[in-house]
Amino acid sequence: MHRSSLGCIQFFLFAAIILIISGCSNNAESVFNDLQIGTTPADSVNQYISIHPNHIPSLIIRGRRYLNNANLPYADADADAVLELDSLNHDGLLLKGEANYLSNSTRVSRDFWLKCIKNHPNEIDCRLKLAELYSIVLEYEKSNELVNRVIDLSPNSSVAFFIKGMNIRDTKGDTALSLSYIQKSIDLDPNYFAAIDMAAVMLAAQKNSLALSYYNRLLELQPNNSDTYYKIGMFNLGAREYNGALEAFTKSTQINPQDAESFFNMGYIHLELGLLTEARNLFSKSIKARAINHRAFYGRGFCWERGGDLINAEKDYSQALSLNPEHKPSEEALSRVRNDLQ
């Protein structure tokens, strides 16, 4: 089929859906927005808006797509267009707050979300966004008031339980209670990546092997997430399970060849095992991945020194110290090698 013909069909399909939705309730319109943001062709939305510039659902769809693609000025502009048509529109106020939040204009986002809550007393999304904002700026009491209200309105809100768990962690330091709320959020949404990740990190900090089951769940959701493999590697490294650590770090670098930390950690493990050549090569890969990398230069210098090549050791220790003049191990190693060279 010719591309222009396909475009016409997509446009008319979109227009037909719009006509159906226009006769439905606000809740139906919200569902429509959620469904169409990722699936409606951008050209169809733009074409429809060019003919119907005051159609709020279409502006919201386009604005949210801009937001998802980090095109914040355009998302903000569509939010403004919606609010010019309807100054109290819920989705417009939510979008306006989100665009400004991601632009670090948090006071603006706060004000729009407060306006959203004031004019839509039983709404959920603006409360959750504002609760997250208050948590980040350490206004935990205000954050908790909002999430508690959300839980009253929507007892199955996984995000509310997650934010509450994070607030407990940061205010009370009660890891067990915090984890119970985070686990509740996971029970409500088994695919909640951020909650699963946080539970894994908190369990790993306790050296609890249950962390690995959470990391494995993350890999089920995102099989090519290098950060998760890195975290698995760090957990195994801390437990001195070197085989598991090397396997995870290797997988991380295969997915992300610029993962300097995984290369460094593999170098460290090989150094611990007395495999100097392999360790040195891995430290070199870490440096290639990130040139400003004093720890890798120090590690490679140590390999040179341990192998008896004091000249190359001096070079790497000097480079490490130039990158971080406060690094005492490099300073001490450089002094030691220079004394031996005399």
Burial-class residue 4 by CB neighbours within 10 Å (0-12, 13-18, 19+): exposed
Angle, helices 125-136 vs 90-102, to 10°: value is 20
Q: Nearest-5° angle of CA 282, CA 283, CA 284?
A: 85
**What does the block give as tokens for 231?**
């975290």
Report angle CA 106, 107, 108 to the nearest 5 degrees. Answer: 90
Q: Note whether residue 236 is domain-resident.
A: no
* pTM of the entire predicted model: 0.81
The 3-state DSSP class for residue 120 equals coil
Q: What is the pLDDT of residue 265?
A: 98
Distance CA 41, CA 12 (A): 12
For residue 134, the number of C-alpha atoms closer than 13 Å in the C-beta half-sphere is 23
Q: Which 3 state secondary structure label does DSSP give 216?
A: helix
Cα–Cα dist 213/205, whole Å: 14
State which of 107, 123, 139 marks the end of a domain.
Answer: 123
Residue 104 φ then ψ, to 5°: 70, 20
For residue 242, is it within any domain? no
Give the distance from CA 287 to its chain's centroid: 25
What is the rounded CA–CA span in Å between residue 33 and residue 218?
A: 28
Examine residue 248 and state whether it is found in any structural domain, yes or no.
Answer: no
Residue 269 lies in a domain: yes
CA angle 251–256–258, rounded 5-degree value: 125
CB neighbour list of residue 253: distance below 8 Å, 6 or more residues apart = 226, 259, 262, 263, 266, 285
**233 neighbors 262 (Cβ within 8 angstroms):** yes
Number of Cβ within a 10 Å radius of residue 66: 21
Single residue among 72, 96, 123 that ends a domain in this structure: 123
The pLDDT, as a whole number, for residue 41 is: 61
Domain boundary pick from 89, 123, 157: 123
Contact at 8 Å (CB) between 83 and 63?
no
| CB atoms inside a 10 Å sphere around CB 72 | 17
With both helix axes pointing from N to C terminus, report the angle between 242-255 and 226-238 in degrees, rounded to the nearest 10: 160
pLDDT tens over the chain, length 342 residues: 444 443 443 444 444 444 434 444 344 344 344 445 445 566 677 888 888 888 899 899 999 999 999 999 999 999 999 999 999 999 999 999 999 999 999 999 999 999 999 999 999 999 999 999 999 999 999 999 999 999 999 999 999 999 999 999 999 989 999 999 999 999 999 999 999 999 999 999 999 999 999 999 999 999 999 999 999 999 999 999 999 999 999 999 999 999 999 999 999 999 999 999 999 999 999 999 999 999 999 999 999 999 999 999 999 999 999 999 999 999 999 999 999 888
Strands, E assignment, the chain = none
Rg from Cα positions in the chain:
27
Amino acid present at 125: D
pLDDT of residue 60: 92
The domain containing residue 114 runs over which residues? 26-123
Q: Round to whole Å and give the CA distance between 158 and 333.
A: 51
φ, ψ for residue 120, nearest 5 deg: -135, 80
241, part of any domain: no
How far is the CA of 33 from the CAs of 28, 61, 113, 117, in angstroms?
9, 6, 19, 20
Residue 39's pLDDT is: 52
206 within a domain of the structure (yes/no): no
The domain spanning residue 302 has which CATH number? Answer: 1.25.40.10
Q: Is residue 184 part of a domain?
A: no
The answer to whether residues 303 and 279 touch, using CB atoms and an 8 Å cutoff, is yes
Token reading at 163:
């934010």
Estimate to the nearest angstrom the gap between the alpha carbon of 6 and the chain centroid.
36
The total number of structural domains in the chain stands at 2
The residues, ordered by sequence, that sit 6+ positions from 256 with a Cβ below 8 Å of its Cβ are 226
